[in-house]
A and B are shown apart, each in its own frame.
Chain A
Amino acid sequence: GAVVSQHPSWVICKSGTSVKIECRSLDFQATTMFWYRQFPKQSLMLMATSNEGSKATYEQGVEKDKFLINHASLTLSTLTVTSAHPEDSSFYICSAAWTKWLINEQFFGPGTRLTVL
């Protein structure tokens, strides 16, 4: 199956700093990439959807100035958590999707665990 990587896998930072997370589709070109956050033992919550070369579409309640998404190519999307605070600590997962006929199948990255001190 298709492989999606995320980097870093975990990061610890001080409050007020910014953190960038990269999501790459390694062996296919993703038409769309999604960013999720997941709290312990909870479901995935979609934060935003991004298509290459266009602005990301954010879900209601997600601050676009705080969670900056850049989708520079069909294989790379980045999420930058700006001025991180402890409440931003979470597990961030990206996924990449491509359209094969009528099927959209998402391939998930391994996730990035962010801890803000």
Chain B
Amino acid sequence: GQQVMQIPQYQHVQEGEDFTTYCNSSTTLSNIQWYKQRPGGHPVFLIQLVKSGEVKKQKRLTFQFGEAKKNSSLHITATQTTDVGTYFCAQNDNYGQNFVFGPGTRLSVLP
């Protein structure tokens, strides 16, 4: 079955530093999604990437989909305390129904 790996598992950064989390799949993906879950909250959809090599930006967040559509990354520039939370990537199968979430990367930002 599908396996989704995310690294790192945890990341502690000083406010203002950059942060990157990586998502890798054992299979070629039709698309990939990224979610953010604040402590005690529920996951919130951030973005979906569909095209090979696609790069999308949301303010300080940059999302990238690998050329082979097997990996993706989320980069945050100049982190802020509001960025604290767990970032999950999620992929669905080629039928577009089932979603498999990665284990998540827990980000702590020290003020």
Among A45, A108, A110, chain B packs the most CB atoms within 10 A around the CB of A108
Q: Which of B42, B48, B92, B102 contacts A43 (CB 8 A)?
A: B102
Binary A-proximity of B19-53 (CB < 8 A = 1, otherwise 0): 00000000000000101000001111100101000
Nearest Cβ in chain A — how far from B21, in angstroms? 13
Q: For residues 40 through 65 of chain A, which have their beta carbon under 8 Å from a beta carbon of chain B?
A: 41-46, 49, 57, 59-60
Q: For residues 71 through 96 of chain B, which have their beta carbon under 8 Å from a beta carbon of chain A?
A: 88, 90, 92, 96
Task: Say what secondary structure dominates the interface of chain A.
Answer: strand
Could you name 7 residue pairs across A and B whose Cβ atoms are closer than 8 Å?
A41-B106, A43-B101, A43-B102, A46-B100, A104-B96, A105-B45, A105-B48
Q: Are A106 and B45 in contact (CB under 8 A)?
A: yes
CB-CB nearest in chain B for A97: B99
Residues of B contacting A106 in the complex (Cβ-Cβ under 8 angstroms): 33, 35, 43, 45, 90, 99
